[in-house]
Amino acid sequence: MVATQGTADRPLTTLALHRSQDVAAVPELAFAAICEVEKWPNWLSFLKTARRLDAGPLRLGSEVAIRSAIPGAEEELYEVDTFLDGYILSLVGAYSVRRRFDFRIERKSDRSKLVVKLDYPSYGGVIGALVDRMTARRKLDAALADSLIHFKGLVEYSVERDEILADF
């Protein structure tokens, strides 16, 4: 099922962060882990909380409330604006379409590749953008890289555990 209100391959802005990670798991399993929104803070270290505001399976139009790990940060509302079951999940900020989380799973035979793009605006003109690029964006980029390695470990561990349990 394809459900989209935008394009999945949006061009990166000069401020977007882009990371990818190979995962030794079938794409369906990796995508299922991405769709467990409430577990995002377990592997996305820059998030404090993430919760669904609606019931049922994640779908186009689903709303997600996210609070970053920055002390004092307010909870922000996001809406799923692109969803291709098993492959693409994209969220856009409800109050700023420039705030985005894009997750894509690519099939590589019995393996998969997780590709994540994060885009958020920085305010304060040229100086604000420079300060953000030198401080917060670097930390977020490093946290995203570490988070994808953590995601890889969680998904691969569940595959390994399932294989061991199947032997019994």
Which CATH fold would you assign to the domain 15-166?
A: Alpha-D-Glucose-1,6-Bisphosphate; Chain A, domain 4 (3.30.530)
Label residue 131 by pLDDT band (50, 70, 90).
Answer: low
Angle between helices 125-134 and 136-166 (to 10 degrees): 40
Label residue 4 by pLDDT band (50, 70, 90).
Answer: very low
The dihedral sign for the CA sequence 146, 151, 154, 157? negative
HSE of 1 in the Cβ direction (CA atoms, 13 Å)?
Answer: 8
Confidence (pLDDT) at 16: 83
Phi, psi of 40 (to 5 degrees): -55, -45
CB atoms within 10 A of CB 18: 13
CB atoms within 10 A of CB 1: 8
* Residues 41-89: tens digit of each pLDDT: 999 999 999 999 999 999 999 999 999 887 778 899 999 999 999 999 9
**pTM (two decimals):** 0.80
Instruction: Single out the residue of 79, 75, 99 nearest to residue 89, CA to CA.
Output: 79
Distance, CA of 50 to CA of 58 (rounded, Å): 13
- Mean pLDDT confidence for 156-164: 67
Phi, psi of 70 (to 5 degrees): -70, 125
